[in-house]
Amino acid sequence: MTSEMRAQNGAASAASPRPTPRAAVRSEGASAYTPNVDVCDCGTEVRIVADMPGSSADVIDVAFDDGVLSIAAAVPARELPGTLVRQEYGVGDYRRSFRLGDGFDASQITADLTRGVLTVRIPRLAAVRPRKVEVRTG
């Protein structure tokens, strides 16, 4: 993960590696929620895990273009019988983007949805993967 990506996406500081969980945020007048995510630099890949409750795989769009990974999902409104007395759980679409930069193999990106959690794996190109260099004596 690049320092640019950390700054843009508000990565937690070393003093607090696990931020307090929060609900997905929907700004006043916004057309979509921002899903909560964990972003992991796993060396050979960057892994993004996003909470996408109410979504199904057929309505989630994951795209990588010009170094930006975008996630979007449509979530249908809930049909409730009777009159709504109190609503604490908002329902709406999700959108989130991450500027990853160059050095990733777009053709090998995978995305899996399990129980409302989307996991996206973005592999690095072999030429930019970290590697251990053997030090020889001689």
Q: Which helix (DSSP H) or strand (DSSP E) does residue 64 occupy?
A: strand 60-65
Average pLDDT estimate for 24-53: 82
Sheet with 94-99, side-by-side order of all strands? 60-65, 68-73, 94-99
What are the start-end ranges of the H helices in the chain? Answer: 3-9
Q: Is the pLDDT of residue 32 over 50?
A: yes
In the chain, where the domains are located: 3-10+31-77+93-128
Q: What is the pLDDT of residue 31?
A: 64
Confidence of residue 137 (pLDDT cuts 50, 70, 90): confident
Average pLDDT estimate for 33-37: 90
Q: What is the pLDDT of residue 72?
A: 94
Q: Which helix (DSSP H) or strand (DSSP E) does residue 95 occupy?
A: strand 94-99
37, 42, 46, 51 alpha-carbon torsion, rounded to 10°: -20
Average pLDDT estimate for 79-99: 85
Average pLDDT estimate for 53-71: 93
Confidence of residue 129 (pLDDT cuts 50, 70, 90): low
> Which class does domain 3-10+31-77+93-128 fall in?
mainly beta
Between residues 90 and 113, the one the model is more confident about: 113
Confidence of residue 75 (pLDDT cuts 50, 70, 90): confident
Name the nearest CA neighbour of 46 among 1, 12, 107: 1
